[in-house]
Every structure is written in structure tokens, then in C-alpha cells.
Structure 1
Amino acid sequence: MKVYILDKFHPAGVELMQQHADVVLWDDPRAANWHQDADAIMVRMWPLTAEDFAKATRLKVVAKQGVGVNTVDLDAARRHGVTVCNTPGINSEAVAEMAMALTLAVARRVADFAARIRSGEVVERADALGVELWHRTVGVVGMGNIGTRVARKWRGAFETPLIAYDPFAPRDAWADIPHERVDDLTALLKRADVVTLHLPLTSQTRHLIGAHELTLMKPDAILVNVSRGGIVDEDALYDALKAGRIFGAGLDVFEVEPPTTANKLVSLPNLVATPHAAGSTEDTQARSSRLVAEQLLDVVAGKEPLSRVA
């Protein structure tokens, strides 16, 4: 069996796969021609198009690390009889922690202060005003696994009132978490001190947070996105942050990744940026990498993978 690993993976999954297959790694020049003889592939963010599936006539399995599958043409995979599986839930705790970290970093201006001190500036305490989050209202957009963990953390650590918005979650979701559920995103945006996004990128959620939505938020509100780039309109967010219409934002995801200085957002002191690293802990990467390999091997052996998406 010929398996191509097209993105950089933690050694745990690579080593497991190498015990069972002829493996070509991402940094091998042969990887560019994976379509010719790949029986299976392991990917993280590598995009897979309809053309890819049409060319890869031997391909039987795509094993993807992470929950998001917006980079894979699932309809094309189905048409060509390719099984696609992912690893939902493995990195939920790590992503939830990053959502908290970004929010706190924005609120207390951690990145801004660090950059100014490193540059040699003397930062006076009188100019070092952030915002406190104790008892502030947190609006959670997306009541899935990660959104639930984030809600529990805010409630437990900061005793925050919670507002939740998710038109797809069951009506009895979060029955054990004190919260108010709203059916209109506008209601959440107007009242929340922190708006934290935990939802997939779809045609319905693309630019869910745009210029209009940002005008609804409080002037001292914080926006956090650890979901997918594209959910937030970055041009609109730049204008809002530059004009001080909201206090700040923390983004782990961008429309073009990894983020560089080519993105004008990263020049703003009230933005904290990380490079789609919310799930990137040693613990999470080892577990997730191994699960990718295990599911691929299960499919090849004729078993049902733990999480099939196509």
C-alpha cells in the first residue's frame, strides 16, 4: 500500500503508518506526484479538489487531521468512491484554551505591551489600561463541542453570564450550563462583551461577522475567532479596529494562512494574531496524528472508521 502524507504530521502517526505501508512524506519530491500511485493520503490543510480526485485513480482513503473539511471536495470524493474521515473532538480542549488565551491577551493588552517594551519604549502604568472580564457577558456563537467547553470555562473561572446562538443545536443543548439562548445573532452582538466564534465555515457562515455586525458590538467588546478564516470579513474588522469601534480582536484563523505582514490586520496593536495554532499542543498533535493513521488503516482493513464524513 502506498500512502502519501502531504502535510507535516506529528511523528506518532507517521511512525505508525510506516509500520504498515510504503510512506512518502511531505518533504519528499515524489509527493508532488501523489496522484499517480497513492492508495491513501493523510492531510491536515492540504486542499483536495474535484480535479485531484479525478486524477488519483487509485485513491481509496483520505484521512484528515482536525474537524474542518472545508478544504476537501466531499462531493467529488463520494463520486469517486473515496472514503474521507476526520478527527473531531481530539483538539477541542486545546482550541478552547486558545480561545480563552486570546481573549485575555486582548483584554489585558499582553501582545501590545510586550511589543512596545521589546522595542525599547517605556510603557507607563497610566497608559496600560485594559478591560476586566469578571462577570462580563460572553456571547458564544456555535454550541458544539468546542463552544460548550469555552462556555464552561468562562462560567467557571469568571462567573460570566452566557448568551448562546446556534440555529442548528438541539433546543435542550447546554441544559446543565446556565445561559440565555437567542435566536437572532443581532441580540447577542448588541449585548456581549466578548463574542467568541465556534462554528464551521460554510456558504451560510462566510463573512457572518461583517461591517454591519461589527457596528452592533459594544465599543469595549472583544471579538475572538478560533474557528475558520472567512467567517469574519477581515476588511471590515480592520476598519472597526483601526477606528476603535471595538476594543480588540483575537484571531487564530485567517482567509490567507499563515498570516504575515501582507495582511494589514497584523499591523494593529489591538489585534492578537496566532497562526492557526489553537490545536497545536504536543499532546493534541500526538493523539490526533495517531488517530488519523489508525482510521486510515481501519478503512483499508474493511472496517468502519471512527469518524467518516464521506
Structure 2
Amino acid sequence: MPRIVITEFMDTDAVEWLSSRLDTHYGPTLVDEPDKLAPLLADCEALIVRNRTQVRPELLEQAPGLKVVGRLGVGLDNIDQPACAERGVQVIPATGANALAVAEYVICTAMMLLRGAYLSSDRVAAGEWPRPALSRGRELAGKTLGLAGFGGIGQLTAKLARGLGMETVAYDPYIEADAPVLAQTGTRLLDMDGLLAESDVISLHIPLTDETRNLFDAERIAAMRGGAVLINSARGGIIDEFALARALKDGHLAGAALDVFDKEPLAAGSVLADVPNLVLTPHIAGVTEESNTRVSRLIAERVAEALG
């Protein structure tokens, strides 16, 4: 039986690198095939997953010899860390390997939503010419980017934004006011109320916890500046999706981009369907050809090292 089981897609070169060293079973659709996954877990020592495989006590009980879980990404809300710790299972995230991909996603969508002209292709192709309406877009330079969460990805996003002429502010209760990284990135630390009041663009970079679920509810969204843009590439459930849809339809927000959702994939007829100035992507902000290579190789090497 394989020592390593991979349940979701992984860079081919990294899979081949692992397979040349350790008995490896690569099944990128195993996440949706529990009957096929169960017998593979019986003797495996390492499990490599992305965000859909739920590493809960039920799964851990099927893998009594499991020593390590490699996460092809950084979020760990699909992994029961206390349950892993109780069983002596090491959890390894790909910290930092996809940061640039996420930071670029934030900057790209912020520019697109502020400009407000890139969702009109169907109208132009149909013969319309909405030039006056689409000539009121805004430039990124001179705007204020508010970062809710100022870890590695938030910090890199701030650096990219500063390079394009933005001001940057951050809210993070775990960062001290005199932290060197604030001076290094030219970022001011604010409380949440200050972030909402000052930011033209707000980007979320926080984990989903009991404290952060629906952190951006109707009240907080209403407290954002009129015409602001909201971007979530962190975790679904942090934004109240109904409240966001209403704020976009009412025109309080100029736009929003969501890469993550409370329930993935979205159900047909979701509250987010047919909402103006809303960009929806399927949890891919951190996934590019380059980042997938970095993430996959990092996890392959660290899992192999953990298994000795």
C-alpha cells in the first residue's frame, strides 16, 4: 500500500519527484471518491490535500498509521488541527509559496473594479457604445488600500500597492503598533472602525474562526466608504454574502470580488447571482502555474523529509 496518498491536484513534476523516492498514490479526484480513498488510507503514512479534503476525526480513524498531512495551500480550516495533534500527526502548510499569486489577484481585481469598465464586453460586442458611462472610472494611484489581516500575504499586497502609488493601512489585533513591518511597508495600523472609514479598497487576509465568521456583516459593510471596493481571497464565511449583495445592488459599494464562499461550490440560484459589479472566481486566487509549482514542490520536499 502507498506510504503517501494525494487526494487533490498537484503539480506533475512534484508528484513524479515524490514517486521516485516513496510509494505514492496520486488520485486528484479522490476527494470526491470516499469509497476509493478509505482503503488507501488504511496503511498510508502521509496525506497531501488542498482545501476540499476534510481531515476530520472520521478520516483520521481510517488512517491509523498517518504521520503527516501536507496542505497544498495555507488555510487550515479543512484540517482538524487538535485532532491531528492528539494523534501525533504533523500538519505542514505551504506557507508563503502562493503569497505572490494572491497579492497579484488583489491588485488586479482592485484595479478592474475601480475602473469599472471591464464587465461591459457583451454590451460593446452587441453594438452598444457606453463610453460616457464608462469614462468615470477611478485610478488606483492615490487611493487607500485597507488590509484586514497583515500577515505575509497582506504585507506583500501592501508592497505591491505602494509600488503603484496607493496608501496602505491595516487592521490586525496581533500586530503591535511599533512592529518593524509597518515601517518597512509604509503601512499605518488602524482599528477596524478606522479601516472601514479610510479605505477605498478593503482586502481580507484573515482566517475563518468563530470570531471572524460574518465579520463583515451588514453593519460593517454599511460603515465602509461609499463607492468602496471589497475583496475576499481569504476564506468564505467572513463576509455576509446576502449583505454584500444588497450593498452592491443598492450602490453603496462600487464593486466586490469574491474568490471564496461560505459554501463551495455556490449553489444554483445563489444570492450572489446577477449582482452588479461583482467578480466571482472559484477559489483560485492563490493558484497559478508558478504558485502551483512552488506549493507542490515545497510540500513534496517537506513531506518526504517528515517521513525520513
SS at match of 2:286: coil
- SS of 2:119's equivalent in the other structure is helix
Answer yes or no: is the 8 Å Cα contact 2:148–2:172 preserved in 1: yes
Distance 1:272 1:52 in 2: 35
For 2:110, which of 103, 120, 141 is the aligned residue?
103
Take 2:49 and 2:117, find their aligned partners in 1: how far apart are those partners? 34
Aligned to 2:183: 175
C-alpha distance 277-110 of structure 1, shift in aligned 2 (>3 A): farther
TM-fit CA distance, 1:176: 2.2
Once the 2 structures are TM-superposed, how far is the Cα of residue 51 of structure 1 from its aligned partner? 1.5
Q: CA offset at residue 111 of structure 1?
A: 4.2
Cα distance change of structure 1 residues 52 and 170 upon mapping to structure 2, 3 Å threshold: same
1:59-138 to 2 correspondence within 5 Å?
59-118=66-125, 120=126, 122-128=128-134, 129-138=136-145
Q: What residue number does 2:22 align with?
A: 21
Q: Taking every aligned residue pair, what percent have the same amino acid on both sides?
A: 35
Residue 171 of structure 2, aligned match among 165, 170, 175: 165
Amino acid at match of 2:167: P
| 1:152-193: CA deviation from partner (whole Å, max 9, x where unpaired) | 1111212x22221111023313122333211x2012102211
Query: Helix, strand or coil: the match of 1:143?
Result: coil
Could you list the runs of 5+ residues in structure 2 that have no partner in the other structure? none
Calculate the TM-score normalised by the size of structure 2.
0.91
The question of whether the paired residues in 1 share the 8 Å contact of 2:216 and 2:240 is answered with: yes
Matched, 1:140 2:147: yes
Q: What is the rounded CA distance, in whole Å, between the counterparts of 2:207 and 2:122 in structure 1? A: 32
For 2:94 and 2:7, the matched residues in 1 are separated by: 17
Shift of the 115–250 alpha-carbon distance from structure 1 to 2, 3 Å rule, reads farther
Q: Kindly provide the amino acid, as one letter, of the partner of residue 65 in structure 1.
A: L
Q: State whether residues 102 and 153 of structure 2, in contact with CA within 8 Å, keep that contact through their aligned partners in structure 1.
A: yes
* Matches of 1:121 and 1:239, distance apart in 2: 30
Counterpart among 36, 39, 43 of residue 49 in structure 2: 43
Q: Do 1:105 and 1:272's aligned partners in 2 also have CA atoms closer than 8 Å?
A: no
Write the distance in 1 (CA, Å) between the matches of 2:265 and 2:112: 20
Matches within 5 A, 1:1-310: 1-26=2-27, 27=29, 30-45=36-51, 46-118=53-125, 120=126, 122-128=128-134, 129-158=136-165, 160-171=166-177, 172=179, 173-182=181-190, 184-259=191-266, 261-301=268-308
Residues 206-240 of structure 1: CA deviation (Å, up to 9, x unaligned):
11111000110122100111111111111111111
| 5+ long unaligned stretches in structure 1 | 302-310
Secondary structure of the residue aligned to 1:59 is: coil
**If the length of structure 1 is used for normalisation, what is the TM-score?**
0.90
Residue 43 of structure 1: CA displacement? Answer: 0.5
Amino acid at match of 2:161: W
Distance 2:193 2:170 in 1: 12
SS of the residue aligned with 2:202? strand
TM-superposed deviation, 1:259: 4.2
1:144 maps to amino acid:
G
Aligned counterparts of 1:181 and 1:276: Cα–Cα separation in 2: 28
State the AA in 1 paired with 2:12.
Answer: P
Deviation per residue, 1:62-93 (Å, 9 max, x gap): 11111111110011101111111111001111
Q: CA deviation at 1:261?
A: 4.6
- Separation in structure 2 between the aligned mates of residue 116 and residue 227 of structure 1, nearest angstrom: 32
Distance of aligned partners of 1:179 and 1:78 in 2 relative to their CA distance in 1, 3 Å threshold: closer
Structure 1 contact 111–272 (Cα < 8 Å) conserved: no
Q: 1:222 to 1:267 in 2, by over 3 A?
A: same
- Indicate how the Cα distance of structure 1 residues 116 and 24 shifts in structure 2: closer, same or farther if over 3 A, else same: farther
Report SS of the residue matched to 2:230.
Answer: strand
Deviations 1:98-133 (A, max 9, x none): 000111121122442124345x25132012132332
Whether the aligned pair in 2 keeps the contact of 1:220 and 1:246 (CA below 8 Å) is yes
8 Å Cα contact 1:39-1:58 kept in structure 2: yes
Report the residue type matching 2:282 in the other structure.
P
